Chains A and B, each alone.
Chain A
Amino acid sequence: MGAALNWSGLLSQLLEITLAVLGAPLLTGWVNQCRAWLQNKSAPPLLLPYRTLHKLFNKESVVATHASPLFRATPYVVFGCMALACAVVPSLSTDLPLASAADAIALVGLFAVARVFIALGAFDIGTAFGTLGARREMLVGFLAEPALLMVLFTSFLISGSTSLATIVENLAGRELAIYPALAFAGVAFTMVSLAENARVPVDNPATHLELTMIHEAMILEYSGRHLALIEWAASLKLFAYSCIGLALFFPWGVARAGAPLDLFLALPVLIVKLALGGALLALIETASAKMRIFRVPEFLAGAFLLAVIGMLVHLLLGA
């Protein structure tokens, strides 16, 4: 631990967490903008998510009379979990002091904590929509989590470590080639992240029809600052997932330990990668339609199988 606590490590850690917390809504805004363009609508301003957050923070919170403290604590817990998630994913640099606190398996656990809390918060008021959303969210969660772990297992087996920073250093250091195992894992990861971030085709973040909601149904009772925190945490989650995907499958350009000046290069590279990733997400969302809830298990089982195939391919071919 002592060796890890150096100034450049602290600097990159601080820079990364600040970038994530402040920049995550921008990514959401960018995806929304791209989607509007692709759907031939007039696009909302890029900074709209910030204005929404500001507006919500200014409003008072209305809480149901019989809500328990758990309901009010949930937005803060979810936000805290997502902040830590963004801190341990190597988006700018692999020299992160906090990365040793949580490896990739702990990161999956971290997302699970957020999910369980938000589902419990939805249960707390006892409305039909809230509990319905909680049930569906947990359904998606228990299907997506093993698939995500299998994707990560493939990268663990390739790099011989479960620490994301080490994985990135390992993968970035390899020569540029197509690894079939990673190709399978990449497709599986894309499917899982669509489900986990409540995007089309699993969920629709822009829906106004309660009966089809998953994530939105759980947060119907939240308002004011609580809602703002949950929205912000959702942006952070999208940011974290994007960065995990970039770290696993496009790890080039991330600054290594001992080269703090690389950070200046890593920032623009990350922005370009995220912009491309966001545009790709908007494209996927535009090109596909939301599926019925009981098609989701098939979708995620497909992701799981792809990840398993990826792993077996790695074991068979050693590539």
Chain B
Amino acid sequence: MNIAPLLPIDWILAIVVLWLLLGAAGVVRPHGFFFVARVLFPASAVVSVLLAVVALVACFDGAQVAVLPLGLPQLPFHLRLDALSAFFLFLLGAASAGVSAFGAGYFRRGEGTPPGLLCLQYHVFLVGMAMVLLADDAYAFMVMWEVMALSSFFLVTANHRVAEIRRAGYLYLLLAHIGALAILLCFGVLQANTGDYTFANLRTQQLSTFWSSTAFLLALGGFGAKAGLLPLHVWLPEAHPAAPSPVSALLSGVMLKTAIYGLLRVTFDLLHVQLWWWGVLALAIGLATALYGVIFSAVQTDMKRLLAYSSIENIGLVLVGIGLAVLFNAYALPALAALALTAALYHCLNHAFFKCLLFLGTGAVLHATSERNLGRLGGLLRRMPWVGWAALVGVLASSGLPPLNGFVSEWLLLQSFLFTLGLPSTFVNMLVPVVAGGVALVAALAGYTMVKFYGVIFLGQPREERLARAHDAGAWERVGLSWLACGCVLLGLLPAQVIVLIDNVTHALVGAGLAATVRANGWLLLAPVSLERASYSPLIFLFVVAASLLLVYAMVRRLYHGRLRRAAPWDCGFPRLTPRMQDTAEGFGQPIRQVFEPFFRMHRELPSASDAMPRYRVVVEDHFWFWIYTPIARLVENVARLIGLLQRGRIATYLLYSFATLLLMLLWVRR
């Protein structure tokens, strides 16, 4: 009897099994709504918390390996838990805990897939993501990658009776598989004809510059399709709104991060060298993605599409961080690479929290109002205070405002831009600060988008009468929302502790970390390089703002008075104020449409002066759809039609084909 304590990797495998059991339990009673919602999902949330705790411990342990007796006869699944996997497993556990708790109150009777089946798909999805993070050979990785892609496809199409949702699901599946093919080819390049696909072997291969670059580009394309990098982003704004909100939250908050994980794993772990132009390429694509995402996000009128585009933006920012890290690493500047990588990883964690929170918030709004269109919402803060205030935290975090978490990672990212003076290449020296300007623009635009999102949904007056009957979130939904909102606040207020957590990851990937410097300056101040160079302390920041706020409040009451009178809004003396006079989502997007006009493909229908029933309509579409996807689709259709000419549907013709083939082959053999 082995009485040695279980290793973290054993715990994580046990958690995976637990998740599978929970999913299987759902299938036992597929229509047992109460059982699934009130027993299985809360239990799953507890398991997620457990995973987060175990992963947190594992972050500080060394790498552990395991071999599962699954898979092909000669090819068992190799698993490995190192700092990078542990960090992303922590992200998975912590974010999915909130989502599962919310899910306990969210799923309703009679919506598409029966609850028990949904429960199975949901847990298989979680297991797929966890196993992707653990996989240590290409075979296991690809199998789990597919498990993740397929289960999420079924989740996206949960409400499969709607044609639009089926179409979104198809698009998602298509791009997921194009990406998977690229990843497969990438592993093929990495194994360098040894036939051994374990990551341990891939790590030892010394590829030539050409093959390394090929592998990197394949990885960037393959994982980029999953993460939503330009121009492979088109599935995101379709699939996220189609899925039920907890699923959208997981897709956006966690699944996109598995793609980031894969990219990091290939670039920094499996490839033995990084070239500077990879970094420049990643910077360029990342910035373009971020800018594209945020600009499109600002003009959306569907709240979930808005968030989906905002996810594209955040993934772009993460890629900018990774690109910078590659660049620094290529120039052998490990400390700076660690700073940029810390910013990217921190942003992954932050985005997981605030985007899950916001997606869950839209889920609660959707249930309360059955409305996704921003033009029919408004004033919900008074009717749904829990959701409203939780969403405010998410919105502030997502806008990158101090002292919440989004700001910390943006701050670190901007810091890492400011050290480029030491780079040996003048071109890169010039380029990098300009990219920093782009990042600043993206961050500022994110604030614009989030003000629009929050203002139109939660503030103002309700635009429809039935919104007066909107109900607040239920108890389980509140638990999920509060968990994620607390996460946003804590990640924002305790950056030094989070950086210590990331430290092992950056040590493993680029051989340096920030923890030593950060620790030297105490837990209160975050000074990633040195105190003279830059410092930020969210706790002091919050304390001073709160103290001066309360002091002013008390002083005003003491010196003057606290009299307050409620009256109708003044509105410059205009008495007949109606909710229709508020700014709409379209109106709020108008400056963006005007300033960034070349980015959009717009159709406007403007009323003429004499219209009795004036109608105004604007349709904003994505250029890439028409530049890339429609031509490819047309090409495929044409080729298919040509091939279709062969198919006559008559047995005699097919016999003729067989005969001709046979003759040709005989001729060929005879020759």
A residues lining the B interface (CB < 8 Å): 1, 57-58, 60-66, 68, 70, 76-77, 79-81, 83-84, 87, 98, 100-103, 105-106, 109-110, 112-113, 115-116, 119-120, 123-129, 131-132, 134-136, 138-139, 141-143, 145-146, 149-150, 153, 156-157, 160-163, 166, 210, 220-221, 223-225, 229, 294, 297, 304, 307-308, 311-312, 315
Q: Counting CB contacts under 8 A, is B469 at the interface?
A: no
Sample (28) of A-B pairs whose CB atoms are under 8 Å apart: A62-B565, A66-B461, A84-B541, A98-B540, A100-B525, A100-B537, A101-B540, A101-B541, A106-B407, A112-B399, A112-B400, A116-B396, A116-B401, A123-B454, A123-B455, A125-B569, A126-B577, A126-B581, A127-B581, A129-B571, A131-B460, A139-B591, A142-B447, A146-B437, A160-B533, A223-B570, A229-B552, A294-B591
- Whether B568 contacts A65 by the Cβ 8 Å rule is yes
A225 in contact with B560 given A76-B552, A109-B400 (CB within 8 Å): yes
Chain B residues near A146 (CB-CB < 8 A): 437-438, 440-441, 444
Distance (whole angstroms) from the CB of A131 to the closest CB of chain B: 3
A124 in contact with B460 given A61-B564, A157-B421 (CB within 8 Å): yes
- Whether B378 contacts A126 by the Cβ 8 Å rule is yes
- Whether B540 contacts A221 by the Cβ 8 Å rule is no
Look across to chain B and name the residue whose beta carbon is closest to the beta carbon of A109.
Answer: B402
Chain B residues near A145 (CB-CB < 8 A): 440-441, 443-444, 447
Q: Counting CB contacts under 8 A, is B28 at the interface?
A: no
Alpha-carbon distance between A135 and B595 when the two chains are bound, in angstroms: 13
A65 in contact with B455 given A57-B559, A112-B444, A126-B579 (CB within 8 Å): no
Q: Counting CB contacts under 8 A, is B594 at the interface?
A: yes
Number of A-B contacts (CB under 8 A): 261
Q: Counting CB contacts under 8 A, is B474 at the interface?
A: no
- Whether A123 contacts B460 by the Cβ 8 Å rule is yes
Look across to chain A and name the residue whose beta carbon is closest to the beta carbon of B463.
Answer: A126
Q: Counting CB contacts under 8 A, is B379 at the interface?
A: yes
Chain B residues near A135 (CB-CB < 8 A): 583, 587-588, 590-591
Chain B residues near A77 (CB-CB < 8 A): 545, 549
Chain A residues near B421 (CB-CB < 8 A): 157, 315
Query: Of the candidates A124, A143, A163, A311, which one forms a contact with B533 in the assembled complex, judged by CB atoms under 8 Å apart?
Result: A163
Which one of B35-43, B223-231, B427-435 is at the interface?
B427-435
Query: Of the candidates B392, B402, B567, B587, which one forms a contact with A110 in the assembled complex, judged by CB atoms under 8 Å apart?
Result: B402
- Whether A150 contacts B402 by the Cβ 8 Å rule is no
Distance (whole angstroms) from the CB of B401 to the closest CB of chain A: 5
- Whether A60 contacts B379 by the Cβ 8 Å rule is no
Look across to chain B and name the residue whose beta carbon is closest to the beta carbon of A77.
Answer: B549
Chain B residues near A156 (CB-CB < 8 A): 418
Chain B residues near A131 (CB-CB < 8 A): 455, 460, 582-583, 587-588
User: Which residues in window 418-468 of B have CB below 8 A to A?
Assistant: 418, 421, 429-430, 433-434, 436-438, 440-441, 443-445, 447-448, 450-452, 454-456, 459-461
Chain B residues near A58 (CB-CB < 8 A): 560-561
Q: Counting CB contacts under 8 A, is B556 at the interface?
A: yes
Alpha-carbon distance between A315 and B438 when the two chains are bound, in angstroms: 18
**CB-based closest 10 A-B pairs:** A126-B460, A131-B583, A123-B455, A101-B540, A80-B549, A145-B444, A146-B440, A142-B444, A60-B563, A126-B461
- Whether B565 contacts A76 by the Cβ 8 Å rule is no
- Whether B541 contacts A68 by the Cβ 8 Å rule is no
Chain A residues near B430 (CB-CB < 8 A): 312, 315
Look across to chain B and name the residue whose beta carbon is closest to the beta carbon of A311.
Answer: B433
Chain A residues near B456 (CB-CB < 8 A): 123
- Whether B582 contacts A79 by the Cβ 8 Å rule is no
Query: Of the candidates B381, B415, B451, B522, which one forms a contact with A70 in the assembled complex, judged by CB atoms under 8 Å apart?
Result: B381
User: Which residues in window 530-574 of B have CB below 8 A to A?
Assistant: 531-537, 540-541, 544-549, 552-553, 556, 559-561, 563-572
Alpha-carbon distance between A284 and B371 when the two chains are bound, in angstroms: 49
- Whether B448 contacts A105 by the Cβ 8 Å rule is no
- Whether A100 contacts B570 by the Cβ 8 Å rule is no
Query: Of the candidates A66, A110, A127, A162, which one forms a contact with B582 in the assembled complex, judged by CB atoms under 8 Å apart?
Result: A127
Alpha-carbon distance between A90 and B421 when the two chains are bound, in angstroms: 26
Chain B contact surface mostly: helix
A84 in contact with B433 given A62-B565, A134-B455, A135-B583 (CB within 8 Å): no
Q: Counting CB contacts under 8 A, is B177 at the interface?
A: no
Q: Counting CB contacts under 8 A, is B659 at the interface?
A: no
Alpha-carbon distance between A229 and B559 when the two chains are bound, in angstroms: 14
- Whether B549 contacts A76 by the Cβ 8 Å rule is yes
Alpha-carbon distance between A243 and B3 when the two chains are bound, in angstroms: 67
Chain B residues near A100 (CB-CB < 8 A): 525, 527, 531, 535, 537
Chain A residues near B92 (CB-CB < 8 A): none
Q: Counting CB contacts under 8 A, is B160 at the interface?
A: no
- Whether A103 contacts B460 by the Cβ 8 Å rule is no
- Whether A76 contacts B553 by the Cβ 8 Å rule is yes
Query: Of the candidates A61, A134, A210, which one forms a contact with B563 in the assembled complex, judged by CB atoms under 8 Å apart?
Result: A61
- Whether A105 contacts B414 by the Cβ 8 Å rule is yes
Q: Counting CB contacts under 8 A, is B382 at the interface?
A: yes
Alpha-carbon distance between A138 and B446 when the two chains are bound, in angstroms: 10
Distance (whole angstroms) from the CB of B500 to the closest CB of chain A: 18
- Whether A162 contacts B565 by the Cβ 8 Å rule is no
Alpha-carbon distance between A222 and B451 when the two chains are bound, in angstroms: 19
Alpha-carbon distance between A138 and B447 when the two chains are bound, in angstroms: 8
- Whether B459 contacts A68 by the Cβ 8 Å rule is yes
Chain B residues near A223 (CB-CB < 8 A): 570
Look across to chain A and name the residue whose beta carbon is closest to the beta carbon of B537.
Answer: A101
- Whether A109 contacts B460 by the Cβ 8 Å rule is no
- Whether B459 contacts A120 by the Cβ 8 Å rule is yes
Look across to chain B and name the residue whose beta carbon is closest to the beta carbon of A156.
Answer: B418
A106 in contact with B541 given A79-B549, A120-B459 (CB within 8 Å): yes
Q: Counting CB contacts under 8 A, is B524 at the interface?
A: yes
Chain A residues near B594 (CB-CB < 8 A): 294
Chain B residues near A1 (CB-CB < 8 A): 521-522, 524-525
Alpha-carbon distance between A128 and B572 when the two chains are bound, in angstroms: 10
Distance (whole angstroms) from the CB of B365 to the closest CB of chain A: 16
Distance (whole angstroms) from the CB of B570 to the closest CB of chain A: 6
Chain A residues near B450 (CB-CB < 8 A): 116
- Whether B564 contacts A63 by the Cβ 8 Å rule is yes
Distance (whole angstroms) from the CB of A129 to the closest CB of chain B: 6
Chain B residues near A81 (CB-CB < 8 A): 545
- Whether B460 contacts A79 by the Cβ 8 Å rule is no
Distance (whole angstroms) from the CB of B419 to the closest CB of chain A: 9
Look across to chain B and name the residue whose beta carbon is closest to the beta carbon of A97.
Answer: B540
Chain A residues near B559 (CB-CB < 8 A): 57
Alpha-carbon distance between A166 and B402 when the two chains are bound, in angstroms: 21
- Whether B577 contacts A106 by the Cβ 8 Å rule is no
Chain B residues near A141 (CB-CB < 8 A): 444, 447-448
Chain A residues near B402 (CB-CB < 8 A): 102, 106, 109-110, 113
- Whether A304 contacts B565 by the Cβ 8 Å rule is no
- Whether B434 contacts A149 by the Cβ 8 Å rule is no
Look across to chain A and name the residue whose beta carbon is closest to the beta carbon of B595.
Answer: A297
Chain A residues near B452 (CB-CB < 8 A): 138
> Binary interface profile of B, 405-417, with partner A (CB < 8 Å = 1, else 0)?
0010001001101
- Whether A102 contacts B536 by the Cβ 8 Å rule is yes
Chain B residues near A297 (CB-CB < 8 A): 595
Distance (whole angstroms) from the CB of A33 to the closest CB of chain B: 27
